[in-house]
Structure 1
Amino acid sequence: MTKSTGKFFILDTNILLHDPLAFLNFDEHNVIIPMVVLEELDKIKDRNKDVSREARVAIRSLEEVLKEATPEEIVAGVPLSRMHGEHKANGTLAIFPDYQLEQTDSMLSLTENDHRIIQAALEIQRERAPAGVVLVTKDINMRLKAKGAGMKYVEDYRTDQLIDDIRLLTKGFYKFEGDFWSQVGEVKTQQEGRDAYHTVSRELLPQIFANEYIIDSTNNFAARVEAYDNDTVTLMDLGVERMMSYGAWGVHPKNIYQAMALHALLDTSMDMVILTGPAGSGKTFLALSAALQMVVEQGIYEKIIVTRNTPEIAESIGYLPGTEEEKMAPWLSAITDSLEALHRHDESMESSLNYIMKKANIQFKSLNFMRGRSIQNAIVILDEAQNLTASQLKTLITRCGENTKLVVSGNLAQIDSYYLTAVTSGLTYIVERFKDYPGSATINLNGVVRSQLAQFAEEHL
């Protein structure tokens, strides 16, 4: 491989599955893909898995850059400017023939693909010294092994990471300490029907977003941002008592955070509502009660579609009996638990559940088979979204058609994916991307209402 300028980034297979065009996001630097990565992509592309599409897209994109290059040029590095489309990559793309490597005295066995990638990275680091060589992988354990084997620079893929600290993630509301009105100077109030709108100085709320809720610590004021410019902010006065009196399918909020969530869920102008918060804060319960209210009682939507991430579904769903809805049941027990809780006082709970399932047209769908659909006149509830990537969430969001409301819920403290953290989760990504979108609202449900036991566990364990 010839000498060139810039750093050298070696990509693991999971990077190209996470973002098939990731090799275009390293600006003027040089990207190297070990041969074993191509072997893994080849094995994945024909599997009956959601990631098989990403593998095929990555292979086709790599082929577009390398198709006219000679074998010598591919090893040396082909200019990424050959790739058509809007991108700023002007470095090179190379394939490293790691199959030529011999087993060294290290503890890394070349019979394992991860070890072959690390061994390739170590060899490139030796060849390219003193230039910077970086191994990029989303596998946390692989990053640890690479460091232990001698890699100086090992990083996660952070191109789609919008914040560096999860504490910086917007909560969807701003809480004033003390009384709100005592901190307001000049205000202009306009009455429209039963709603009052207050226009205050932008200096009072310098960092504001569309549909952000405003509350104070005295629980005497609650409002939502309706509009803003460089000088002023217009707030719709909601009233704490009025918000706490909201109800949906017999459910009433237990705190101001649930009241804000219920207000957003019942607002038909909101195309998407994102609910975050700890286990037991009422995310799924509120989403389902609002959905039943708007489908059965108000007739605004025709059906409820419930889906969630099921990591092992590609391997195990086929072995479960019944229809797709019945196969999905083990992963959607949180929904059935909530349905039972909503009707636990009925004379015949089982009859009530069967009636509601039919009346509300509740459908359990696998997220893996949502691609290609166009969902109309429905409420879509996506549960456990913290385990999804940004691209997986994009797949679902772009399925939503006319008169469809999407409710996304998740707990960033309960991520099960090997490759995601709280700051790289797709849930975090869409919270930041949609925080100023006029058709969405985000609410962080602060507080556990499931039970005293659950609250104590959340706070002390």
Structure 2
Amino acid sequence: MSLSPIFYVLDTNVLIHDPSAIWNFDEHQVVIPMTVLEELDNLKSGRGAVAADCRQAIREIDRILGKATPVDVEQGVPIDRGKQVPTLGTLSVLMTETPQIHRILPEHLNDNKILNAVALLKQQHPAHHVALVTKDINMRLKARACGIDAEDYQTDQLLSDIAHLNKGYIDFGDSFWDHISAVETEQTHGGETFHQIPRSAIEQEVYPNQFFFDAAGFLGRVSRLTDTHIILRHLDRERLMQRETWGLQPRDIFQAMAMDLLLDPDVHLVNLTGSAGSGKTILALAAAIEMTLDTKLFRRIIATRSTQGLDEDIGFLPGTEAEKMEPWLGAITDNLEALHWDDENAAGSIDYVLAKVPLQFKSLNYIRGRSFQHSLILIDESQNLTPHQIKTIVTRSGTGSKVVCLGNLAQIDTPYLSPTSSGLTYLTERFKNFALGGNLQLQGVPRSELAAYAEEHL
């Protein structure tokens, strides 16, 4: 006996979080309340990221319901997934004008209208399981208080706990070589040393460009993976610690490993996570200037960030796009000052860099639909991006470009995101097997003793 399809009622925030969400419920019936369509309509105008997501969600709904009759729209229109995939599930619109006799909440709020409509749907279909899907925790609490099953949208949530997220390194404690019974070492004509070890020798999951290190001084980076072996590129730990990039030296082994990824032209995507003050932004900026001004690997630096309120507020700030973005990208300019703090003429050094380096501040709104060639794209505060938004930005990377994502998963400002549903977590997990990408979780707070104490005790 087959189970009856589930009625999944989607809240507005789900369609803003993922405009393609309606395609992700397999054989079940997706239900869009009329109030949700009205909210999408109210939010669709403008150049902001939310408006763009609303427009895309409306187009996705129209693809399915476009030519359906009113009766079909109410009962459910089959979701056509193309010739290669069988038609699964249906999409319907739920009228949210609930008769007075069936109302369980006063309808002065849109949330209450949706809850009343879901409660009536549940009453009309007692043989089916009805669930409200929303990113709003308070909406889920209200639903449960009304006897309605409610759940978070987790289709793009790849981890249940960020403790399982790849840190970008494995610390082997006292000695790495104590874990290895067989090894083949080869030295290339370029002077690099590679170690080939059996995969079975490492109990943890191993990914491309992951670092191995121990307390005895060994440091290596995964160069290549086969079905049976791990090929490690041996790194000179002391040389890495003394490496200088635009006047900046790493303060610990984690910053040294991050710098190795940032400066490697063969690594096209770098994700740096870590607590406030761990050095994410200043490392990325120093490497970006080095690769743009000195080695000329890139023609320009595109700096952007996700900040709550940015999409709405930027239009009200005076000036050009660069002038509007400057207040939001203070972290970039602050770190540029820090790089030249000890110069004899700090202001002159900063003006020289800004004059020589094509450093462009871009709003996320202006990145959509563009393609950046031979550019280093620096995305600060990327923990506040949804998986859909992070995809929109990373796919802007053109030929010869590199993307660097910076973020702190403990400081998420977006209302409907959590560490496990953040776009930064999604990107790190999706790209963990990407041979041309790497990520690193920085440790400690080298900014100052005060910052370190505050991070631990506040």
Give the secondary structure class of the aligned counterpart of 2:404. Answer: strand
Distance 1:26 1:105, change over 3 A: closer
Aligned residue for 1:356, secondary structure, equals helix
**Residue number in structure 2 paired with 1:213:** 211
| SS across alignment from 1:122 | helix
What residue in structure 2 maps to residue 286 of structure 1?
283
Equivalents in 2 of 1:256, 1:194: separation in Å? 23
Q: Distance in 1 between matches of 2:383 and 2:198?
A: 36
Aligned-pair CA distance for 1:448:
1.0
Q: Does 1:158 align with 2:171?
A: no
What's the CA shift for 1:104?
A: 5.9
Greater Cα shift, 416-425 or 300-309: 300-309
Moved over 4 A (4+): 85-89, 103-106
Alpha-carbon distance, 1:306 to partner: 0.6
TM-score scaled to structure 1, two decimals?
Answer: 0.94
SS in structure 2 at match of 1:60? helix
Is 2:170 the counterpart of 1:171?
no
Using a 3 Å threshold, how does the CA distance of structure 1 residues 407 and 278 change in structure 2: closer, same or farther? Answer: same
CA offset at residue 68 of structure 1? 3.3
User: In structure 2, what residue type is equivalent to 1:308?
Assistant: R
Query: 2:89 is matched with which residue?
Result: 91
Answering whether residue 134 of structure 2 is matched by residue 137 of structure 1, we say: yes
More displaced stretch, 410-419 vs 188-197: 188-197
TM norm structure 2 = 0.95
> Which letter maps to 2:135?
K
Preserved CA contact (<8 Å) 1:317 1:327: yes
Task: Please tell me whether residue 366 in structure 1 is matched to residue 363 in structure 2.
Answer: yes
**Contact 2:187–2:193 (8 Å) recurs in 1:** yes
Matches for 1:309-388 after TM superposition, within 5 Å: 309-388=306-385
Separation in structure 1 between the aligned mates of residue 268 and residue 317 of structure 2, nearest angstrom: 34
How many residues are paired up?
454
**Structure-1 separation of matches of 2:33 and 2:40:** 11
1:86 shift after superposition? 6.0
Q: Is the 8 A contact 1:140 1:418 kept in 2?
A: no
Q: Distance in 2 between matches of 1:445 and 1:253?
A: 11
Report the alpha carbon displacement of residue 60 of structure 1 after superposing the two structures with TM: 2.4
- The unaligned stretches of length 5 or more in structure 1 are none
In 2, Cα distance between the equivalents of 1:222 and 1:238? 5
CA apart distance, 1:387: 0.2
Measured in 2, the distance between the counterparts of 1:96 and 1:261 equals 50
Write the deviation string for residues 134-154 of structure 1: whole angstroms up to 9, x where unpaired: 100111221122222321x21
CA distance in 1, matches of 2:351, 2:85: 52
Structure 2: which amino acid aligns with 1:31? V
User: Match for residue 450 of structure 1?
Assistant: 447
User: 1 CA distance for matches of 2:166 and 2:126?
Assistant: 42
Would the aligned equivalents of 1:27 and 1:89 in 2 still touch at CA under 8 Å? no
Q: Over aligned residue pairs, what C-alpha RMSD do you find?
A: 1.7
Matches within 5 A, 1:260-279: 260-279=257-276
| Distance across 1 between alignment mates of 2:83 and 2:60 | 11
Distance in 2 between the 1:243 and 1:168 partners? Answer: 28
Larger mean CA deviation between 141-150 and 437-446 belongs to 141-150
Determine if contact 1:24/1:87 at 8 Å carries over to the other structure.
no
Identical counterparts, % of pairs: 45
| Distance (Å, rounded) in 1 between the aligned partners of 2:299 and 2:66 | 49
Identify the residue that residue 15 of structure 1 maps to in structure 2: 14
**Equivalent residue in structure 2 for 1:187, among 177, 183, 189:** 183
Residue 294 of structure 2 corresponds to 297
- The CA distance in 1 between the partners of 2:250 and 2:107, in whole Å, is 57
Q: 1:170 to 1:48 in 2, by over 3 A?
A: same
Equivalent-residue separation in structure 2 for 1:76 and 1:457 (angstroms): 56
Match of 1:196 among 190, 193, 199: 193
Deviates more, 1:124-133 or 1:362-371: 124-133
Change (3 A) 1:132 1:112: same
CA 1:84 to 1:46, structure 2 compared with 1: closer, same or farther past 3 Å?
Answer: farther
Name the CA distance, whole Å, in 1 between partners of 2:336 and 2:83.
Answer: 48
* 1:102 aligns with one of 100, 103, 109: 100
Contact 2:7 2:130 in 1 (8 A): yes
1:259-288: CA deviations, max 9, x gaps?
100000010111111101111100001000
Specify the SS of the correspondent of 1:27: coil
| 1:429 lines up with 2:419 in the alignment | no
How far apart, CA to CA, are the structure 2 residues paired with 1:356 and 1:89? 57
Contact 2:98 2:113 in 1 (8 A): no
Residues 301, 348 of structure 1: CA spacing in aligned structure 2 closer, same or farther, 3 A cutoff? Answer: same
Shift of 1:105: 6.5
Question: Structure 1 residues 286, 88: closer, same or farther in 2, change over 3 A?
Answer: farther
Q: CA deviation at 1:425?
A: 0.3
Q: How far apart, CA to CA, are the structure 1 residues paired with 2:314 and 2:66?
A: 39
Alignment CA distance shift 1:327-1:85 (3 Å): farther
**Within the alignment, does 1:229 sit opposite 2:230 as a pair?**
no
- Cα 1:401–1:67, aligned 2, differ >3 Å: closer, same or farther? closer
Return closer, same or farther for 1:48/1:111 CA change in 2, 3 Å cut-off: farther
Any idea what SS the aligned residue of 1:382 has?
Answer: strand
Per-residue CA deviation, residues 82-127 of structure 1 (Å, 9 max, x unaligned), is x547656612211111124437674x33121111111111211222
Paired residue for 2:51? 52
- For 2:353 and 2:179, the matched residues in 1 are separated by 48
1:250-261 → structure 2 map (5 Å cutoff):
250-261=247-258
Q: Which amino acid aligns with 2:199?
A: R
Give me the whole-angstrom Cα distance separating, in 2, the residues matched to 1:424 and 1:196: 39
